[in-house]
């Protein structure tokens, strides 16, 4: 199985390219973006040394499904998906704040809680919770969007006090975040899953707040299996989950959390294949469809051909 870990495309009317942790974003003269979902995988803000076959396709297709399913809540950037690993949409001015919303005490929140912290991003977390307990109400814990390095926790109060986002824009983002999380929760529940936490990114287009990037994918979200959740909590057992958390746990067990001086561990092929399987499992679980593997004989040529044909048709 082949993976695409870098891209060097030349699309018609291309003016620039930005290489993110996972996506390569090509900006065109006509105000459009071509977003290539690579098979790179990141954790603790570091890109891991090997690509994960079909990961980009999974992310692109899951995100497309949820963007289509939520456009009645908030306008979004997406126009078309001319290739299994590519989305084309409007260029927007990104808001430099990630809207993280948590329905359960998991991941980063749980790690902070274990250190004795009860306030995260200015939001109080109740005493007496155990890892993976449900919050009384979902909490929004924003993060500043870093160009490089770690995104950092920030409170709503600091965002407004520092003028990072105008108040009316931030309130609109909060409203959209809660509505999107509610829709995602309902859709996950229909598929026997619990949407635990997720993040949304917004941009401005023609003065309007729009949803950008991906939503409700295994890279941006954490899912638990609903069946057995209560019993596992009662018994103090780990939750069965579909997310990237198992990759983080593997890294932690192998002595890596992205801290200075730590060495990225070697990734055996068996572990890479396990990650591919987990991503495909999430796709099939959340969409209810069988995953159709794209042709990976020459991924670069396939993408170039499909995108060129789409752009020519405009």
* Residue 203, in any domain of the structure: yes
How is residue 155 written in tokens? 């409170």
Q: What angle do CA 66, 70, 74 make, to 5 degrees?
A: 130
User: 191 lies in a domain?
Assistant: yes
pLDDT by residue (tens digit) across 270-286? 999 999 998 998 899 99
Which of 70, 108, 62, 122 is closest to 248 using CA atoms? 108
Beta bridge partner(s), residue 104 = 134
Average pLDDT over residues 85-100: 97
Distance CA 259, CA 200 (A): 26
- Whether the pLDDT of residue 2 is over 80: the answer is yes
Its sign, for the CA torsion 291, 294, 300, 301, is negative
- pTM equals 0.91
* CA separation for the pair 141, 261 (Å, rounded): 29
| Under 8 Å between Cβ of 78 and 67 | yes
The span from the CA of 269 to the CA of 272, in Å, is 5
pLDDT of residue 244: 83
Q: What is the mean pLDDT of residues 88-95?
A: 96
pLDDT above 80: residue 227 = yes
Lowest mean pLDDT among 147-151, 157-161, 193-197, 252-256: 147-151
Domain range for residue 219? 94-246
| Mean predicted lDDT score pLDDT of the chain | 95
Burial of 238 (0-12, 13-18, 19+ CB in 10 A): exposed
Over 90: is that where the pLDDT of 170 sits? Answer: yes
Would you say 48 and 264 are in contact if contact means Cβ atoms under 8 Å apart? yes
Please check whether residue 174 lies inside any domain of the structure: yes
At 232, give phi and psi (nearest 5°).
Answer: -65, -40
Looking up residue 148, the CATH number of its domain turns out to be 3.30.470.20
Q: Is residue 155 part of a domain?
A: yes
Structural domain includes residue 251 = no
Q: Would you state the pLDDT for residue 153? A: 95
Query: CA 39 → CA 57, 182, 300, distances in Å?
Result: 8, 29, 12
Residue 242: pLDDT band with limits 50, 70, 90: confident
Q: Indicate whether 40 belongs to any domain.
A: no
Domain count, the chain: 1
In sequence order, what E strands does 76-121 have? 78-83, 86-90, 93-94, 97-104, 119-120
**Assigned domain for 282 exists:** no
The first and second tokens of residue 298, run together, are: 């020459």
For residue range 116-144, list pLDDT tens digits in order.
999 999 999 999 999 999 999 999 999 99
Instruction: Quote the CA–CA distance of 218 and 11 in Å, as a whole number.
Output: 29
Residue 35 CA to residue 87 CA, distance in Å, equals 5
- Assign residue 297 a region (left: φ > 0; alpha: ψ between -120 and 50; beta: otherwise): alpha
Give 113's DSSP letter. Answer: H
* pLDDT band at residue 246 under the 50/70/90 scheme: confident
Is 188 part of any domain? yes
């Amino acid at each position: 199985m082949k993976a695409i870990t870098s891209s060097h495309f030349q699309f018609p009317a291309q003016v620039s390219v930005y290489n993110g942790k996972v996506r390569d974003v090509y900006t065109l003269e006509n105000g459009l973006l071509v977003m290539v979902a690579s098979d790179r995988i990141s954790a603790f803000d570091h890109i891991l040394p090997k690509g994960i076959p079909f990961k980009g396709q999974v992310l692109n297709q899951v995100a497309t499904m949820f963007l289509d399913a939520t456009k009645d809540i908030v306008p979004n950037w997406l126009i078309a998906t001319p290739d299994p690993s590519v989305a084309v949409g409007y260029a927007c001015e990104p808001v430099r704040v990630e809207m993280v919303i948590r329905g359960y005490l998991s991941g980063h929140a749980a790690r902070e809680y274990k250190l004795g912290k009860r306030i995260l991003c200015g939001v109080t977390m109740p005493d007496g919770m155990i890892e993976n307990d449900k919050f009384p109400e979902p909490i929004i814990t924003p993060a500043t969007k870093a160009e490089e390095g770690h995104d950092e926790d920030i409170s709503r109060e600091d965002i407004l006090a520092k003028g990072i986002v105008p108040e009316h824009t931030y309130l609109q983002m909060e409203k959209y975040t809660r509505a999107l999380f509610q829709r995602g929760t309902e859709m996950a529940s229909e598929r026997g899953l619990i949407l635990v936490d997720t993040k949304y990114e917004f941009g401005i287009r023609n003065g309007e707040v729009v949803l950008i990037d991906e939503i409700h994918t295994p890279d941006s979200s954490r899912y638990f299996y609903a069946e057995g959740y209560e019993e596992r909590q009662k018994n103090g057992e780990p939750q069965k989950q579909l997310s990237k958390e198992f990759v983080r746990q593997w890294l932690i067990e192998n002595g890596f959390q992205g801290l200075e001086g730590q060495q990225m561990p070697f990734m055996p092929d068996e572990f890479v294949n396990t990650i591919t399987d987990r991503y495909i499992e999430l796709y099939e679980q959340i969409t209810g469809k069988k995953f159709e593997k794209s042709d990976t004989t020459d991924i670069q040529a396939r993408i170039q051909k499909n995108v060129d044909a789409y752009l020519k048709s405009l």
